Structure 1
Amino acid sequence: MKRHADNPALRAAYALSAIYPRLRSRTTRAGYRLRRTFAHSLLTYDNQSFTDGAGAQFQRVLGVYALARDIDAKYLHSPVSLIGYRGTPNSRDKAGDKILNELDDLTLIASDSGAEAMAARATVVSLSSPRSHELEKHAGTSKHPTLFKITLPYQELDRDPAIWNRLRPVLRHQTTRRPPLRIAVHVRRGDNHFVAAERLLPNSYYISVAQRLGSLLVQLDIPHRFEIFSETLTIGTRLTPSDFTPGMTSESFAVAGDHDRFGEFDALSPVDLHLDTPLMEAIGMMVSADVLITSKSSLSIVVGLLNPDRLILFHPFWHAPMAHWVTTSADGQFNEAHAAKMLRRYLSGT
């Protein structure tokens, strides 16, 4: 890249910055761009607008925090306050609102110093899924700060997934890196049998990924075991609209057969089935595992983000993965050389 003195576009950017102090240039993966400073703006999660599952909402909390750190804005913590979808009747957590505190304790995220005082005199701007130019347009000033209430922070995060690295200082969990290697497989089931069926991945997908990984680990002489995390549906159970994410369906459904066939996972060895495990216990076990195989699920992504540097085998979903995660194909194939490299790096602690 040319130095700014030799580049007309960059010379113009620096000139504008000198004339208008509230504009500044910033290096991004896409090059230079102008933006207003966010020193007098706060970001917070809008925890009232879309109260779906715990994983989906907590991913948004993490995203808003990471975005605030990336643009040097103040952060005002608004934790998940209401979980509208709590899983199938068999897996539904009986802990009630206790789960909200446990969810919040997964990281060290908290409001910045002075954020609450600034928020008390700020103009509130609610943005569902903001792009950077929308944030720039409403950026606050010392006299008139702005509080951005954001529902979906993914416009910038999908453009540059490296922003997720801003979470690292607030992460709690570490894995032990002791044999046998624990491989957590998150199998998203439950309501997806009846709504959003496009998110269902067949057992054959997970088994294919796991068997390919198992063969690789045998080649590397690494002892391992598989741990399957999912939820069950009892035959004869009747599901009403209240059993789903609010607004997802107006229909009721009867469970008429064995939709899940978890016995098929006996093809993996050794394997443990963790079915209908309480949510926070399951999250803790998956976060502490050495390898994660994700499903099409925000909960999978959250578990990955909370311990991002192990081997994560990622099936494409709504949002972009971190750059070092290993993407899988529909038939369970993945770049085994990349996976082996990630395993060696992880096991060496580098």
Structure 2
Amino acid sequence: MSSEQENSIPSWKVAVTYQNDKMTDGVGAQLQRVYGIYALSRLLKIPYIHSPLAKVDYQGLKSLEENSGNQGFVDAFNRRFAIKSDVAVPQSYYVIDVHSITTEAMDAITAQAQSLDRPVIVRITLPYGITDAHPASYECCKEISPFSHLPPNKERLRVAVHVRRGEMMVVAADRMLPNDYYIEVSLRVSRLLEEMGVPYSFEIHTEIPTREIELKPGENGIQKSIGAPRRLGPEASKIDEFAVIPNATVMANAEAIDCLSLLSTADVLITSRSSFSYLGGVLGRRNSVTLYNPFWHPALPGWISTANDGTFDEAAFRERIRTLMA
């Protein structure tokens, strides 16, 4: 073997990347998987290779209204949320596709790879068999977040509330938290901040139909999630109910990339049962405060869990705000 051939063989045996051609649903769900795979690479000390998003089926309520989607939507997210690869893709390698990875499966692949003549790239769709068992693994994502370097807004804290609606109103209405939940959490946050003498403003981030539309199976972003056509109109959101929240602005139907940026840079984030705002908490600053209503992914260390009636640990919230303002 020549020295040139020896130098062409990577020193690493196994690397992980996102299997970007299997589940192409929403941008929040896919980016949570991407950052989850990066997180497990750090946890297991395995090189990470970045695979950008290839396709996003649900591109927001506007795309549903127009029954359209565009690659520019995907490209914008890929530019903003690019993660530097640890190693280059070699000329020759094996590929193993894994839908849902576990630590045991990763250990078995790593052991097998030691005897192979080429490195192995493991393309993973779902990292949650590892990251859900080790939610603290996501903490490393703050170091590469596009937003983590930004300072807190000490003059007036921004409280971002993610009210997940859009296609879920017809696809998964049982997963949505009611307006009353968000209102109760927000009113408690408002009371606590006023008691502490901290100026604040609320942003209500949601999607509201601008007109009555008919959603059909197989259309953009819906795929096969509904078995028959469903109608959706502006009145379904009942957005006027949020008027009781002090200093609040409804920021409906913003571009998805702008909305995710605002959620990630908020001083206080009230999440929904959604990967979109879960990702906002993952990518937020270390001292930001996340109020989290539990769903199938566990809270990160330091997040404050909320009950369905909107209550949460107020003493923990006060302490987090004091740390944020220090």
Q: TM-score, normalised by structure 2?
A: 0.89
Alignment partners' CA distance in 2, 1:95 and 1:251: 21
SS of aligned partner of 1:280: helix
Structure 1's 224 and 172: CA in aligned 2 closer, same or farther, altered over 3 A? same
Structure 1's 207 and 75: CA in aligned 2 closer, same or farther, altered over 3 A? same
Aligned-residue identity in percent: 31
Deviations along 1:112-135, whole A, 9 cap, x unmatched?
23x311xx4222111111111111
Match status 1:285 vs 2:224: no
Which residue of structure 1 aligns with residue 95 of structure 2? 124
1:91 touches 1:276 (CA, 8 Å); kept in 2?
Answer: no
Q: CA deviation at 1:39?
A: 4.3
SS of aligned partner of 2:158: strand
Deviations along 1:20-69, whole A, 9 cap, x unmatched?
xxxxxxxxxxxxxxxxxx94101000000011001000110101111112
**Which residue identity does 2:299 align to in structure 1?**
P
**Which residue identity does 2:136 align to in structure 1?**
A
Match status 1:99 vs 2:73: yes
**Which residue identity does 1:126 align to in structure 2?**
D
Q: Is the deviation greater in 159-168 or in 42-51?
A: 159-168
Which residue of structure 1 aligns with residue 8 of structure 2? none
Which residue of structure 1 aligns with residue 236 of structure 2? 259
Which residue of structure 1 aligns with residue 33 of structure 2? 60
**Mapping for residues 151-162 of structure 1, pairs under 5 Å:** 151-162=125-136
Structure 1's 277 and 317: CA in aligned 2 closer, same or farther, altered over 3 A? same
Which residue of structure 1 aligns with residue 214 of structure 2? 238
Match status 1:323 vs 2:296: no
2:59 touches 2:69 (CA, 8 Å); kept in 1?
Answer: no
Root-mean-square deviation over aligned CA pairs: 2.0
**Which residue identity does 2:36 align to in structure 1?**
G
Structure 1's 263 and 147: CA in aligned 2 closer, same or farther, altered over 3 A? same
Which residue of structure 2 aligns with residue 70 of structure 1? 43
Which residue of structure 1 aligns with residue 315 of structure 2? 337
Q: TM-score, normalised by structure 1?
A: 0.83
SS of aligned partner of 1:151: strand
Q: Which runs of 5+ in 1 are unaligned?
A: 1-37
**Mapping for residues 131-170 of structure 1, pairs under 5 Å:** 131-139=102-110, 140-141=113-114, 143-170=117-144
Alignment partners' CA distance in 2, 1:52 and 1:179: 38
**Which residue identity does 2:259 align to in structure 1?**
A
SS of aligned partner of 1:89: helix
Aligned length: 308
Alignment partners' CA distance in 2, 1:273 and 1:301: 20
Q: Which has the higher contact order (CA 8 A, sep 6+)?
A: 2
SS of aligned partner of 1:138: helix
Q: CA deviation at 1:138?
A: 1.3
2:216 touches 2:222 (CA, 8 Å); kept in 1?
Answer: no
Q: CA deviation at 1:102?
A: 2.5
Structure 1's 91 and 210: CA in aligned 2 closer, same or farther, altered over 3 A? farther
2:260 touches 2:277 (CA, 8 Å); kept in 1?
Answer: no
**Mapping for residues 161-310 of structure 1, pairs under 5 Å:** 161-173=135-147, 174-241=150-217, 242-255=219-232, 258-309=235-286, 310=288
Alignment partners' CA distance in 1, 2:302 and 2:290: 8
**Which residue identity does 2:275 align to in structure 1?**
S
SS of aligned partner of 1:82: coil
Q: Which runs of 5+ in 2 are unaligned?
A: 1-10
SS of aligned partner of 1:333: coil
Alignment partners' CA distance in 2, 1:340 and 1:236: 43
Deviations along 1:132-178, whole A, 9 cap, x unmatched?
11111111227332111100001111111111012133122124323
Deviations along 1:180-217, whole A, 9 cap, x unmatched?
11100000001111121221111100000000111110
SS of aligned partner of 1:338: helix
Structure 1 residue runs of 4 or more that deviate by more than 6 Å after TM superposition = 90-95
Alignment partners' CA distance in 2, 1:233 and 1:296: 20
2:152 touches 2:324 (CA, 8 Å); kept in 1?
Answer: no
Larger Rg: 1
Deviations along 1:65-119, whole A, 9 cap, x unmatched?
1111221111111111100111223787988322323323334512223x311xx
